Structure 1
Amino acid sequence: MTGMTTPAGREAAPARRDAEATRADILKAARHLLARHAHADITLRAVAERAGVSPPLILKYFGNKDALFARVMSFDADADALLDAPLHDLGRHMVRHVLSSQRDRGADPLLRIAFAPLHGDHGDVLRANFRAQVTERLAARLTGPDAGLRAELAVAALVGLGVMYGIARGPHLRETAADTVADRYGPAVQAQLTPGR
């Protein structure tokens, strides 16, 4: 806190960063780099620089680079939030979640799967996690025929939305309210989740 002084007239040391916020910043930085560079080319120093922390702090929280990227390559927490709605309203919720994640956190919950080919063997891990933690988990919630195909089609629509928003930076999409996009695009996703509704 700038301006506060100690009894000796010196500035007080800045407040320690909140541990959870620091972990989140490190994961966000690692995800950003993983979406742009091959896993082998990413250093802890680069992650630390982007997160605004020291490399030893990353080691303290995650142990090593492999442990950090095992977390980054997991979709579990993202899938929890993405799939957190009743089935009848899930398409709209997922669209809104993809947009609000990009707008509010600067991170798409699914888009890093598009960069799996950059990562060699680590890309295989990313793909396996994505299938198990996102598409297969979604398929397990669906009733009726072709649940696996319908889940993959619904997720494909969301990945496409993320690409248009985060990579192509579609100006009309970016300036439109998330609820408006969810009202228009959500039914296309929902049509795969509850066909014939």
Structure 2
Amino acid sequence: MNIVSTPPDAPDARPATDAPDVPGASHTPDAPGGSAAPARRDAEATKAAILRAARHLLARQAHADITLKAVAERAGVSPPLILKYFGNKDALFARVMSFEADADTFLDGPLEDLGRHMVRQILVGQRERGADPVLRIAFAPLQGEHGDVLRANFRAQVLDRLTARLTGPDAAVRAELALATLLGLGMMLGIARGPQLRSRPIEDIVDRYGPTVQAHLTDRPS
């Protein structure tokens, strides 16, 4: 299922929740008798900030035009710190172009309620994390050959996994239709920035839109 990776997350302006988490406690000694947990949390927060910055830039520029310096400036860290955590630019963007970790959460729900679960993940991702688990596929045309990697990852890590969960006839078609429906929601929220969708309670949208997605996932007897 692993291929390489995917690009950007949600679209325009970085939401307040996307502010870089630049740790400080990682440079302080552990309390006597304590553990390294705070330092590990700071490292994870820093890596998350770097990944968010790289996704943001990849949504707007070709991979070849993005420098580690630009990623570092957006994340609020130094370029050497990116090298420390990710090794090099190719390794960083391999992570950014992968849907693997997102798919683990995105598809982690009971099949009978998976439509609502995935709609909720789209909404929570954009509103609270400043990232979208699947919308980055919309930016594949910007990326040339890297866009091909993005498409291949999306098919293997999201589409094929969803298809494998479905029962009954035409599972592959139904999986594509469900994801197309979810991508439409993501586009309206993140690209068109529809004010009504962005202002309504998450569970209200889940209640309205979840059944639409679920209709493609549920095998109906003929």
User: Scaled by the length of structure 1, what TM-score is found?
Assistant: 0.91
Identical counterparts, % of pairs? 76
Structure 1 residue 105, shift from structure 2 partner: 0.5
Structure 1 residue 15, shift from structure 2 partner: 2.9
Pick from 212, 215, 219: which aligns with 1:188? 212
1:1-197 mapped onto 2 (5 Å cutoff) = 14-16=24-26, 18-196=42-220
Structure 1 residue 195, shift from structure 2 partner: 3.7
Gaps of 5+ in 2: 1-23, 27-38
Distance in 2, Cα, partners of 1:144 & 1:129: 25
Distance in 2, Cα, partners of 1:151 & 1:100: 21
Distance in 2, Cα, partners of 1:134 & 1:34: 20
Gaps of 5+ in 1: 1-13
Distance in 1, Cα, partners of 2:145 & 2:101: 22
Distance in 2, Cα, partners of 1:153 & 1:46: 37
Answer 1 or 2: higher relative contact order, Cα 8 Å, separation at least 6: 2
- Secondary structure of 2:25's counterpart equals coil
CA contact (8 A) 2:169 2:219 kept: no
**Backbone CA RMSD of aligned residues:** 1.1
- Map Cα deviations across residues 84-112 of structure 1 (whole Å, 9 max, x no partner): 10000000000011000111110111111
Q: Report the AA paired with residue 175 of structure 1.
A: S
Structure 1 residue 196, shift from structure 2 partner: 2.6
Matched residue pairs, number? 184
Distance in 2, Cα, partners of 1:104 & 1:81: 15
